[in-house]
Amino acid sequence: MKKILTIFSFVTSLFFSSGIFAQENIIPSGDFSSLRKTGIAKVIEVVNPLTVNLDNGGIIHLAGLDFPDLDFYESGDLAITAQKILEDFLVNKKVIIYQTKSKDKGHTNRMGHDIAHLVRANDNIWTQGLLLSLGVARVRTTQYNPEMAGQMLALENGARTNKSGMWNMDEHKILSPEQAEEYIGSYQIVEGKVQSASLRKNKLYLNFGNNWRDDFTVAISAFNLRKFVKAKIDPKQWNGKLIRVRGWIKSYNGAYMEIEHPERFEALFKQQQNMAGD
């Protein structure tokens, strides 16, 4: 533990309070039973917070992460900090590579890089989990790589509770439905109560205001609703329910977000019910 704290003490000093580091769960492991182990290799370079090069010639794209200020020309403080953490944490270290079990999709991105979760081999520390715990990354699953979402969201929520990293900065706050329109053209997290749920032309619309022509709306196609059914989730029953949703905000009768897989939702009303039951 002391070695890990020494490694990160400089690069995290701008963002994290010392109390957070005293917690053992800042160094997370994960349950990778939903994934398939596809190899072991040594990291030789961290290209950016999402990309690392391996000694076997492979290039890994880190699955499930988003860095709000990552810019491939001029990144912000969070992305720079995340890259420094990864360099200290991974360079010249062997990593275990885990990928989706799907045979057809989700193995590579459009650049041909392998999409994977990485675990440092000598101590089983989960790379994605570490970045989420420190608050320098947030969760961004895709429809072809939704695995580990529950575990990642739990770590993100823990970092938010502790106000670690980005979660202590107003510019990276969770948005209300009313604020969403100010962030059109960006990936965001929005939290609010669904005012109405309606199915029109084979698409489900969740409206967060009284006027669908200008309020924040989340849409799910009929095809993608099948994934929710498979996961035993019914968004049609969410009228009046508090939820959190993440995705790219577009402009279409106000702020608009289209969702293609269930892992982009958090049913906060269920968490409230569980707390009440306790």
The ranges assigned to domains in the chain are 2-168, 174-277
3-class DSSP assignment, residue 171: helix
pLDDT value for 214: 85
pLDDT value for 202: 87
* Topology match between the domains 2-168 and 174-277: yes
pLDDT value for 23: 43
pLDDT value for 170: 92
pLDDT value for 6: 35
Strands 196-200 and 65-66: unpaired
Contact status, residue 29 vs residue 126, Cβ threshold 8 Å: yes
Topology given in CATH for the domain delimited by 174-277: OB fold (Dihydrolipoamide Acetyltransferase, E2P) (2.40.50)
Element (H, E) at 19: helix 18-21
Q: Where are the beta strands (DSSP E) in 88-209?
A: 94-100, 114-120, 125-126, 138-139, 187-193, 196-200, 203-207
Instruction: Tell whether the torsion through CA atoms of 53, 62, 151 and 35 is positive or negative.
Output: negative
CA distance 79 to 76: 6
Topology given in CATH for the domain delimited by 2-168: OB fold (Dihydrolipoamide Acetyltransferase, E2P) (2.40.50)
pLDDT value for 278: 52
Tokens of 132: 């989420």
Identify the DSSP state of 176. Answer: P
CA distance 94 to 42: 4
Q: How many helices (H) and strands (E) would you count in the chain?
A: 7, 16
The structure's pTM equals: 0.88
Identify the DSSP state of 175. Answer: B
pLDDT value for 19: 38
pLDDT value for 2: 36
Please state, as a whole number, how many other Cβ atoms lie within 10 Å of the Cβ of residue 187: 14
pLDDT in single tens digits along all 278 residues of the chain = 333 333 344 444 444 443 333 344 456 789 999 999 999 999 999 999 999 999 999 999 999 999 999 998 888 999 999 999 999 999 999 999 999 999 999 999 999 999 999 999 999 999 999 999 999 999 999 999 999 999 999 999 999 999 999 999 999 999 999 999 999 999 999 999 999 999 988 899 999 988 878 899 999 999 999 999 999 999 999 999 999 999 999 999 999 999 999 999 999 976 655 545 55
